Amino acid sequence: MITRDELAALDAADPLARFRERFVLPDGIVYLDGNSLGAMPRAAAARVAAVAEHEWAQGLIRSWNDAGWIDLAPRIGSKIGRLIGAAPDSTMVADSTSVNLFKLLAAALRLRPGRRVILSERGNFPTDLYIAQGLAALLEQGHELRTVTAAEIPAALDGNVAVMMLTHVNYHTGAMHDMAALTAAAHARGALALWDLAHSAGAVPLALAEAGADLAVGCGYKFLNGGPGAPAFLHVNPALQAEIRYPITGWLAHAAPFAFEPGFRPAPGIPAAGVGTPPVLSLAALECGVDIALEAPMAEIRAKSLAQTALFMRLVEERCPGHGLAIVTPREDKSRGSQVSIRHEQAWPIMQALISRGVIGDFRAPDVLRFGITPLYLRHAELWDAVEALRDILTTGAWRDPRFAARRAVT
């Protein structure tokens, strides 16, 4: 059996340990929800204050030029592009993940006229499915969303699939797809591959260019630590940029936004994927998170993530047997993102009990305890403490306290 001292020794030798001090983390909390909202980079508070007090209050409208606000979205996009292994000038920050998905999905259907199927995975994050449903209903051209299990995807790629839309790491289970293999399978049948990187960017190695991925979207507020509701990103393979037509043609996507021409002419390249004016305060915070992610070697992040997720699963099995917990996250390293999901029929009150003790994960309906692993700030010994809290809650039945039954607006 492993001991807490052994884990503390791992922390003492952790090459990523120095990154923890780059974040503000509250005392007494084991934070296992960085896949829902990443912790605040220490730099973000100062940066946001400077944007407000100097750039906005003192610079006023001049800051669009003088403080470079106009360059923020493409610049942060370029940085994220490096993080996800995308070609230069193929990634930008804009809107929310859902809006970006709408833009790229609509564009994908236009790139494959005559094909009518959006292929996705059953159990994909709901917004991805909803956006596809809404788009198909809007177009009234007979498009449909078809969902299959992960194993059925290759066989479901028939000649009517316009675009295969998959989330690389599943929000619910933490299972990770083989992006290169599935992209190749889609291409072999003439379909485009659109990847949702919400639970991947900043968490696992990504090589979009190498995989030949056509389109991608992703989230700024999870493993990129960009702040609550941080703007999202999108990626368009350079090979598609000349041909692609976005559905939402806002003025900032125009070739000459300040010429105020009456007709839309798209900007060349990735800026055409923008729409309107981006939220600068939120963008500035996002850049702080992205900058830290770029500094940390991804190989070290991945190694620590795999070690910590494996450790967490091992501790749960060693220390909490016989309580009805069922780990649903894949054991095989290559199939696992950076989270551990555990099924239990009382997952809701158990998670509320954990949170009341300072161990913050989250609940995903109907019955999953979800624990995100963020190697940039998570210590091995904290996982021991988290599992000890879980063990105590299960052993004592503390989760039965009626105050843990009440549902809340956001889970």
**Contact criterion met (CB below 8 Å) for 139 and 116:** no
Query: Shortest distance, CB of residue 222 to a copy of itself, whole angstroms?
Result: 10
The CA angle 134-34-82, to the nearest 5 degrees, is: 75
β-bridge mates for residue 40, sequence order: 24
| Cβ-based burial of 17 (10 A; exposed 0-12, middle 13-18, buried ≥19) | middle
CB nearer to a copy of itself: give 170 or 183: 170
Among 76, 83, 135, 165, binds a copy of itself (CB under 8 A): 135
Nearest to 99 by CA among 265, 251, 275: 275
Annotated catalytic residue, options 103, 364, 370, 379: 370
> Which member of 23, 102, 221, 223 is catalytic?
221
Among 18, 245, 331, 400, binds a copy of itself (CB under 8 A): 245
d(CA 250, CA 253): 6
Among 231, 271, 337, 375, binds a copy of itself (CB under 8 A): 231
Q: Where are the alpha helices (DSSP H) in 164-263?
A: 179-188, 208-211, 238-241
Nearer to a copy of itself, 403 or 408 (CB): 408
CB of 115 to a copy of itself, least distance (A): 15
- Which CB, 107 or 211, lies closer to a copy of itself? 107
Strand 91-93 to 233-236 pairing: antiparallel
Stretch that binds a copy of itself, among 13-21, 46-54, 153-161, 301-309 (CB under 8 A): 46-54
Angle at 77 between CA 410 and CA 97, to 5 degrees: 30
Q: Is 196 a catalytic residue?
A: yes
Closest CB to a copy of itself among 236 and 306? 236
222 is an active site residue: yes
The C-alpha torsion from 34 through 35 and 37 to 41, rounded to 10°, is 50
Residue of 30, 80, 230, 393 that binds a copy of itself (CB under 8 A): 230
Q: Which is nearer to a copy of itself, 13 or 61 (CB)?
A: 61
Query: Pattern of binders to a copy of itself over 353-392, x per CB under 8 A?
Result: --x----x-x-xx---------------------------
Burial class (CB in 10 A: 0-12, 13-18, 19+), 209: middle
Between CA 8 and CA 381 the distance in angstroms is 5
Task: Looking at residues 321 to 340 of the shown chain, list those that interact with a copy of itself (rule: CB under 8 A).
Answer: none
Rule CB under 8 A: say whether 26 interacts with a copy of itself: yes
Residues 171-210 vs a copy of itself: string with x where CB under 8 A?
-x--------------------------------------
The answer to whether 339 touches 372, Cβ cutoff 8 Å, is yes
Binder of a copy of itself out of 8, 9, 12, 57 (CB under 8 A)? 57
Q: Which residue has the tokens 């989760």?
A: 399
User: C-beta of 204: minimal distance to a copy of itself in Å?
Assistant: 21
Burial tier of 111 (Cβ tally within 10 Å: 0-12, 13-18, 19+): middle
**3-class secondary structure per residue, 251-277:** HHHECCHHHCCCCCCECCCHHHHCCCC
- Interface with a copy of itself in residues 77-106 (CB under 8 A): 95-99, 102, 106
Instruction: Return the number of the residue (232 or 340) whose C-beta is nearest a copy of itself.
Output: 232
The 260-289 site mask, x for binding a copy of itself (CB under 8 A), equals xxxxx----------xxxxxxxxx-x----
370 as an active site residue: the answer is yes
Tokens 């659109």 belong to which residue? 194
Q: Which positions are catalytic?
A: 125, 196, 221-222, 370
